[in-house]
Structure 1
Amino acid sequence: MNLVQRAININTQPRAEWARVDAEPATVAGLFTGYAVILALLPLIGTLLMGLLFGGVFGFSFVLVTGLVGYVVGLAVLFVMILIAKALAPSFGGTPSDIAAAKLLIYAATPVWLAGILNFIPGINIIVMLVGFGYAAYLLYLGSSIVMKIPADKAAAFTIVVVLIWIVLSFVVTAILGGIIVTALLGSAAMTGGYMLR
């Protein structure tokens, strides 16, 4: 199934689509290169549009760098979350599988990536992103029983744990990298200022 059809189906008919996802052959690498790395470009494009339209304090270069870093970090966190979801599955009665965990988390992230294209619209972007996150959690909940064989009575708990870990991990990594980027920019600005005073 092509990327566009999968993105439409997982959002409009998730139960039926999760069954198709579960049945089709896949590899972790194929799921990343054929789906995740492409759809994850949408928030980056939205961020770059924001930089072009509004600039901000640091200008487009800052937006470009932070956007690219966010893109790479987002995919890296997603990969770590696949490993975590696989490791958690047995505790909730599910089947530990790299491919099943990759299918679940990558396809469940679809609404977040789609919402990210609207990053350039102040105010609306936050609302749309929150809706995207909420729907992604719902997709994760639905897919956990089908793809990772989590018993229905444990699917909600599994979803809550995975989502909380994902939020905390994303926040911590983003805070660390954000601090590094800001420090580097301030250091660069201080050096430039020093040269101008000579």
Structure 2
Amino acid sequence: MILNHIWGLYAHPKDEWQTIEKRHESLMYSLMHILVVSLIPAICGYYAAAHIGWTIGAGDPIKISQNSAQLMAIAMYFALVFGVFALAYLIQWMAKTFDSTPSFVQSLELAAYTATPMLMVGVAALFPVLWFVTLAGLGAVCYSVYLLYSGVPIMMNIPEDRGFIYASSVVTCGLVLLVGIMAFSAVMWTLGFGPEYLS
């Protein structure tokens, strides 16, 4: 089953990382995991933006047209998949500094399973109130960072003290990657690719 490690990562993450490390899956397995889980925020974001409307303050909910919501959902989906692959590349690239030689599949597994809470929290968009989605997103980010710190020493086969520094480097690169994707989105928005709001 594509999603068989998800429950273990929530219930007993260190044991689940050991299981993932012992039986590395194929590239196709990790790819299917990313492609399926990335659908959650894209579909929920589309439905919230086009059919429910976002509540930002005390005013009426803000909706966008279905065409705009579809384009934004598709762009979000591909940006999320690209982000996970870019993070996997950075994990593999930085490994040499920490005397580790993971395969790209190992790096992709680490990136994919670490990003899973942030992707799955996309379901919170079905209650599109800004403060609620922000709190849910912060919780997911915190848990993803915890998964990264607990998974790096196991997946990369390095001592925990070195794994802490490695994981901190990955977090920093991940934040830079996230800011880069957001900046690209803002540039595209200003070039006329912004949504069409409904009154």
With the shorter chain as reference, the TM-score category is: 0.7 to 0.9
Shift of 1:57: 5.6
Aligned length: 186
**Is 1:183 aligned with 2:191?**
yes
CA contact (8 A) 1:92 1:151 kept: no
The one-character-per-residue Cα deviations of 1:150-193 (angstroms, maximum 9, x if unpaired) are 3210122111211121121122123213321442346x98xxxx
How far apart, in 2, do the equivalents of 1:159 and 1:94 lie?
13
How far apart, in 2, do the equivalents of 1:167 and 1:86 lie?
17
Matched residues, percent identical? 19
Which residues in structure 2 correspond to 1:2-81 (within 5 Å)? 2-33=1-32, 35-51=33-49, 52-54=51-53, 56=62, 58-81=64-87
CA contact (8 A) 2:52 2:63 kept: no
**Is 1:160 aligned with 2:182?**
no
How far apart, in 2, do the equivalents of 1:178 and 1:150 lie?
39
Unaligned runs of 5+ in 1: 190-198
How far apart, in 2, do the equivalents of 1:128 and 1:145 lie?
27
Per mean C-alpha deviation after superposition, the further-off stretch among 175-184 and 142-151 is 175-184
Instruction: Report the TM-score when normalising by structure 2.
Output: 0.85
**Is 1:124 aligned with 2:124?**
no
| One-letter code aligned to 1:27 | S
1:194 aligned partner = none
In the superposition, relative to structure 1, how do residues 181 and 94 fare at CA in structure 2: closer, same or farther (>3 Å)?
A: same
Unaligned runs of 5+ in 2: 55-61
The one-character-per-residue Cα deviations of 1:122-174 (angstroms, maximum 9, x if unpaired) are 12111111111110111111111111113210122111211121121122123
1:193 aligned partner = none
How far apart, in 1, do the equivalents of 2:21 and 2:104 lie?
13
Q: Any idea what SS the aligned residue of 2:4 has?
A: helix
| One-letter code aligned to 1:159 | A
1:135 aligned partner = 143
Structure whose CA Rg is larger = 1
**Is 1:95 aligned with 2:101?**
yes
Shift of 1:88: 0.6
Shift of 1:66: 1.4
Q: CA RMSD in A?
A: 2.0
